[in-house]
Copies of this chain bind each other. A is one copy, B any other.
């Protein structure tokens, strides 16, 4: 039985759905067969089919973006932004969210069974790109009978997907909202991802990715996640949340068990992640992020964005040091250099990169206004 929390009386129970596709061609030349996509939808597709919005999840997200999961009773990862009278108003719009290719939450990824061998792909899963992820999303959107999305959006890696949509399928997107993201990873972003990958691959339980019949590389994956969590917060938000508080009072001798609250929090979040995420997905998805460069194949970022015909609302956050505002400004400058329709807003926040999940109020007014204006324009 699902108990609805009192604080989200407007949330409703949602069930993840699955679409099957016979094959998917990847940028690297490989072909995947029997590809499955996990997705959810919120709201109703109107008769004109012009009110569909695709929400792309960040690195470790899944298809459950909003509402209460029928499976485990948990709210979606962007439930504060998607729903009736929220930023992505499900009384007006039809919102689609799907788990990405390479994921481990219902869409085909390294942990899925390879139909050719009957065993999990593991590291035989082909190398994949953000463009491959978006290609599969396009197949899902086609499958749902939608030829043009009102908007594509997402934060962090979700924003990379949104940008890729605008460039690769310009005719299929009326607007794009890339949030707390970049057109390409810099050295520091690659470096943090690489530390996570090394932590996983250093775990003897990883066994070159062939761990599905035994112990999982839980310790390596937990360490990788801990690094991630630090980069998602800001120095300020960690200070506010934890300071130097010790978990128990009166601990004075050095103890290598977690003592500072920040330590036990990181260990808890690291351990929790292991239960819901696959280490090989971690490797493949972070590599796709590191390789992502919107300019690839077009010579330059302005040349790539020259293909886009949609409106843009680019959002970044002041304290986000993982995806700093200057990276959003690169996108904005490139768009302006090609006379594209772009609005940019750097929102004040102390939450660091996590701000795109937490700064609801300011994002809501920006997003709601932008979507309404776009919808009006589309209907003209």
Contact = CB atoms under 8 A, between A and B. Distances in A.
Interface of A: 28, 123, 127-128, 184-188, 190-192, 194-195, 197-199, 201-204, 219-220, 222-223, 226-227, 229-230, 233, 235, 238-239, 241-244, 252-256, 258, 260, 262-263, 266-267, 270, 283-284, 287-288, 290-291, 293, 321, 324
Contacts of A194: 226, 258, 260, 262-263, 266-267
Contacts of A184: 244
Q: How many copies does the complex hold?
A: 2
A222 B219 CA distance: 15
Given A226-B195, A293-B244, A187 B254 contact: no
Contacts of A258: 194
Contact of A204 (B204, B252, B287, B321): B204
Contacts of A267: 194, 198
Given A194-B263, A239-B187, A266-B195, A256 B202 contact: no
Interface of A is mostly: helix
Contacts of A244: 184-187, 190, 293
A223 B239 contact: no
Contacts of A203: 202
A298 to B, nearest CB: 15
Contacts of A235: 186-188, 321, 324
Please indicate which of the listed interface residues A223, A230, A239, A253 has the most CB atoms of chain B within 10 Å of its own CB.
A223
A195 B235 CA distance: 16
A265 to B, nearest CB: 9
B256 A201 contact: yes
14 contacts: A128-B254, A184-B244, A186-B238, A187-B235, A188-B233, A191-B263, A194-B258, A195-B226, A195-B230, A195-B266, A197-B256, A199-B223, A202-B220, A254-B288
A192 B28 CA distance: 36
A263 B201 CA distance: 14
B187 A243 contact: yes
A219 B203 CA distance: 8
A127 B291 contact: no
B186 A260 contact: no
A241 B187 CA distance: 8
Contacts of A284: 254
Contacts of A255: 127
Nearest to A242: B187
Nearest to A252: B28
